[in-house]
Amino acid sequence: MKLTMASSPHNHSHKSLTRLMLTVIAACIPGLIAQVFFFGTGVLIQLALAFVAVTAFEAAVMLIRKRPVWPALSDGSAWLTAVLLALSIPPFAPWWIIIIGCLFSIVIVKQLYGGLGFNLFNPAMAAYVLLLVSFPVQMTAWLPVTDLASNPIGFIEQLRLIFTDFTSTGYSLDQVRAGIDGTTMATPLDTIKTDVAHGLTVSESMQKPIFNEWAGQGWMWVNLGFLAGGLYLLKEKVINWHIPVSFIGSLALCSAIGYIAAPGTEPGTVFHLLSGATMMGAFFIATDPVSASTTNKGRLIYGALIGLFVYLIRTFGGFPDAVAFAVLLLNIAVPLIDYYTQPRTYGHGAVK
């Protein structure tokens, strides 16, 4: 019998790595459908660009390293990175934004460290943070949901915006955003943070049309879509329950305490759970088998700390959403967490 040494992710089910990755991609479909419905087909354009880009960059690196191309592509990890990154950026971001993100995630974060199983950070989130820090204007150019648009943008116009920065009538993205009921904010999370900083209460801020009774228009359904996909992954035993449960539980607890302490400036638990990238982060990003903790106790600590950092950065930090930053911070801490949470070895401490 041949002993094979391999890097993570280690799979204890009968599914192949390719099948696992494709299952995760399929589980993203409910959230993807909700995002397309509420924010337009620009999401699909970004997704197509991302698929082409990651395939090209992965193949190029394999050729440079003189390794087989198809085995690296067929494991599906690059395509999953493309999906997560495309779903994280604004639908009408310029085409070069997603290309730069794919280049950084595949070439720098993944392949430069040795390929799948050797990356220290989640590739999609590392690329997202790079883009957000480097191109904050383009990365915060979210439009409100299409229901609030006074002049809905068709597919061809969306293509023109992404590839030329202008519509056929000469309007830039900023002008298009300003024409939607005067609403130019990035996301509901950003709106709450900005309004509170200007002296408004949360209840006054949530009277704006981009909110519903619970969270932001559209964002609630996007999060529920990713929640449904995440529950499917748990059912199929593709991911463990420890990270998403501890993540969501920690964020819910912190936001509940914050709401009790300052109800006028805190939006509450439901808003935090159903806004931004909460559910996608809990089930699809934090559970990355390579960069996440590998012990059960470590996963609970890892997820809980991500939830805590998400709340702290959203509430006191300079960015409206914090999932990517929180995940990268805990990626750094994974070796330490795993070191102190190793399970007790069988027979340890037995009387000799």
Q: How far apart are CA 149 and CA 42, in angstroms?
A: 15
Q: How far apart are CA 159 and CA 94, in angstroms?
A: 10
Cβ-based neighbours of 151, under 8 Å, separated by 6 or more: 179
- The pLDDT value given to residue 171: 74
- Give the dihedral sign, CA 150/155/157/162: positive
**Strand, helix or coil at 31?**
helix
Q: At what angle do helices 95-103 and 77-88 cross, to 10 degrees?
A: 140
pTM, to two decimals: 0.88
Q: How far apart are CA 259 and CA 256, in angstroms?
A: 5
Mean pLDDT, each 10-residue run in order, the chain (352 residues):
50 72 96 93 95 97 93 91 95 95 96 88 95 91 69 80 84 68 61 83 82 80 96 95 97 95 88 93 95 94 97 87 93 94 69 50
Place of tokens 């949360």: 202
Among candidate residues 351, 248, 222, the one with its CA nearest the CA of residue 304: 248
Q: How far apart are CA 31 and CA 43, in angstroms?
A: 11
Number of other CB atoms surrounding residue 156 within 10 Å: 10
- The answer to whether the beta carbons of residues 305 and 248 sit under 8 Å apart is no
pLDDT in tens, 265-274: 888 899 999 9
DSSP letters along 74-142, please? HT-HHHHHHHHHHHHS-TTS-HHHHHHHHHIIIIIIIGGGTSTTT-SS-HHHHHHHHHHHH-HHHHT-P
Among candidate residues 230, 343, 235, the one with its CA nearest the CA of residue 295: 343
**Strand, helix or coil at 293?**
coil
- The answer to whether the beta carbons of residues 272 and 315 sit under 8 Å apart is no
- The answer to whether the beta carbons of residues 110 and 309 sit under 8 Å apart is no
Q: How far apart are CA 108 and CA 95, in angstroms?
A: 20
Residue 293 φ/ψ, nearest 5 degrees: -65, 155
